[in-house]
Structure 1
Amino acid sequence: MKTLFLHCRPGFEGEVCSEIAEQAARLDVPGYAKAKPASACAEFICHDSDGPARLMRGVRFQDLIFPRQWARGRFVELPETDRISVLLAQLADYPVFGSLWLEVLDTNDGKELSNFCKKFEAPLRKALLAAGKLKDDAALPCLLLTFKSGREVFLGMAEAGNLAMWPMGIPRLKFPREAPSRSTLKLEEAWHHFIPRAQWDERLSSDMTGVDLGAAPGGWTYQLVRRGMLVTAIDNGPMAESLMDTGLVTHLMADGFTYKPKPPVDWMVCDIVEKPARNAALLETWLGEGLCREAVVNLKLPMKQRYAEVRRLLERIADGFKARGIKVSIGCKQLYHDREEVTCHLRRL
């Protein structure tokens, strides 16, 4: 198993290759990354058979920015019929698994394979249980089958707790009809990704306060209000009346880049369309000056050298906090609901 297979947003294959190659170099895992444009996937081919396992042990999937999912394994050609027998034979040298995910790529061809996977999963699961290859044990590795077609599958595995939260890294979030814009799903997904669900009541509680910079019409404000927070919405544009009617929102027509709260708040969120360096500086100011305890901010990406630019901005932010002598945890991810952007989460420690 010399291949590490990674899912991503179509068009960001190059960023995945750059990121995973950098991680491999850091861990001294020899190999090379490759990808086809718009394929929604990339591969890192290791020179050594234990390379993918070493790479996955040395990296927390949660810390990767552009990959949506990963697994180590190999490609398998499948016949038109009796695919299960071929898969069972190929799994002979794999361990026992605690879960099974059938995945497709985020492309039009992948979407067409979804129905096939839904029909194929039940008989495959039954066969794996009968063969002793699948047990109900959350501590065991996950078996990930990524179907590129009905005749080709990547037979992969990942350790429990070191893979995406959802198959293919795509969350199953329902758009709330009362939310004023679909951007609300960006912030909800960010909370799922960056905050353990068991900590939501503590870190997203109803006795907290928040500021939404560039709030109108209120997609992100809606998520704060949904948690019962008192919110100051900063934007020269109008806010949704439904949010104002809650009595939890104060709307100020002001510049989001110059506004500062008195007193400090628990949360700052920002989805302003602006140059990424300016939004990154905003993060450094709010956390560095103690204006908030936690923040979620989107950084819009440039057309070229996107991974290099994100890394540069994250390092600049980290250096700024170090110079101030404060400790801040920094997370960054291109979420499923992001487009040409990444989402940053910072928490003052």
Structure 2
Amino acid sequence: MQQAGAFAWCRAGFEPDLAAELTDRAAAAGIAGYARTERDSGYVRFIVDASDAERVERAVPWRDTVFSRSTVSMLAELQIADATDRISPMLPYLEGQTFNDVWVEHPDSDAGKPLSGLARSLGNALRPALKRAGLWAPNAERRLHVVLLSGTHLILGTTRPAFAAPWPQGIPRLRMLAEAPSRSALKLEEAFMSLLSPQEKALHVKEGMRAADLGAAPGGWTWVLLREGMHVTAIDNGPLRDHVMATGRVTHLREDGFSWRPQQTLDWMVCDMVEQPIRVASRMATWLREGWCRNSIFNLKLPMKKRWLETQRCFDLLETEAGRPLEIRAKQLYHDREEITVYCRVL
């Protein structure tokens, strides 16, 4: 059946938080809709009237949403009667459109992972079928998404690649290197990929820059900054890995990350301290208000319930206590758990 709205991937267990966020963002744009969720499914469907389909796509883009890994504009929801022919029932919903690529995806869950083989084979069969039907054009604006909820239940949707997550399901495939001091290194690597465009990263992340890492031990985030060519002041009472210190570009100060301040403006401050999110937000606001750093990335460890409300509360406090116009972007990254990662700078 025809279905208008947004289909969004999220971390399993965070469906209510994404649903609340999509509802608030759509309402702020004057769009009425409702969320449909299944606990631990790893996705949310936000349903709107067909006349609002294009407006909701603009209201809830992937890059601006916190709890969505990837957001797709829905075309239809199908129940396939004949499992030997999944392609023919799709084609009527695609008439009059052209696509430059097709992604066949499945939930990142225990129930969804067995669909990976079907997703590959269906994608391989769908590309030539789209070309035969005149639905394929290398210069088309949109990418086709086929979401397999089961072998016979699927969602059809589209995205504009320039404004969509660059990875299927919104999951970057990062490799944990043996020399990384901790798995937390993957969070900062993904943050640079998700919260900054390639152009912004080239502008703001450069060799020779100076950074501070608050709560640095054992050195995962410091190690990532070193790989970007930066000089790092690591603040933590705990030790850093020997090979991190051996680079000669780390100054380790055994001090409290909540009270230490730099003597000069730094290019970057990063922070991954285990503390109440509102306290972290307040300290980050001080750094931005006082001009101690130009760019910051930090984690907010969220409560078990009402995470979207807590996120809004932290953002409001950041803007109020900073006392300066801020650019705030945040994501629950694939490598995050009960937290979100925030990029913030003074405009």
Same fold (TM over 0.5): yes
Q: CA deviation at 1:332?
A: 1.1
Query: Secondary structure of the residue that 1:185 maps to in structure 2?
Result: helix
**Please, which runs of 5 or more residues in structure 2 have no aligned partner?**
none
Corresponding residue for 2:10? Answer: 8
Q: State the alpha-carbon separation in 2 of the partners of residues 50 and 172 from structure 1.
A: 36
Partner amino acid for 2:28? Answer: R
CA shift, 1:110, in A, is: 1.3
Q: Do 2:195 and 2:331's aligned partners in 1 also have CA atoms closer than 8 Å?
A: no
327-336 or 272-281: bigger deviation: 327-336
The answer for the alignment partner of 1:341 in structure 2 is 339
- Matched with 2:105 is 103
Task: For residue 2 of structure 1, give the secondary structure of its aligned residue in structure 2.
Answer: strand
Work out the CA distance in 1 between the residues paired with 2:59 and 2:183: 36
Cα deviation 1:117-140 (Å, max 9, x = unaligned): 112211211111222212212x51
Distance 1:4 1:327 in 2: 30
In structure 2, how many angstroms separate the alpha carbons of the residues matched to 1:266 and 1:231?
10
Question: Number of paired residues?
Answer: 343
Q: Which amino acid aligns with 1:75?
A: E
Q: Following the alignment from structure 1 to structure 2, what is the Cα–Cα distance between the partners of residues 320 and 346?
A: 13
Native 8 Å contact 1:99 1:140 kept in 2 = no
Partner of 1:329: 327
- Would you identify which runs of 4 or more consecutive aligned residues in structure 1 move more than 6 Å? none
User: How do 1:89-168 residues align onto structure 2 when only pairs under 5 Å count?
Assistant: 89-92=92-95, 95-137=97-139, 140-168=141-169
Deviation at 1:199, TM superposition (A): 3.4
Distance 1:299 1:76 in 2: 38
Specify the alignment match of 2:228 in structure 1: 227
Matches within 5 A, 1:36-47: 36-46=38-48
1:55 shift after superposition: 0.8
How far apart, CA to CA, are the structure 2 residues paired with 1:9 and 1:60? 17
Alignment of 1:263-274 (within 5 A): 263-274=264-275
1:82 aligns with 2:85: yes
Q: Shift of the alpha carbon at 1:52?
A: 2.6
Shift in alpha-carbon separation, 1:62–1:342, aligned structure 2, 3 A: same
User: Are 1:217 and 1:237, in contact at CA under 8 Å, matched by a contact in 2?
Assistant: yes
Relative to structure 1, the CA distance from residue 103 to residue 286 in structure 2 (aligned partners, 3 Å threshold; closer, same or farther) is: same
Percent identical among aligned pairs is 42
Retained in 1: the 8 A contact 2:7–2:46?
A: yes
* Rounded Cα–Cα distance in structure 2 between residues aligned with 1:313 and 1:3: 28
Cα RMSD of the aligned pairs, angstroms, is 1.4
Matches within 5 A, 1:204-215: 204-215=205-216
Q: TM-score w.r.t. structure 1 length?
A: 0.94
TM-score by length of 2: 0.95
CA contact (8 A) 1:272 1:298 kept: yes
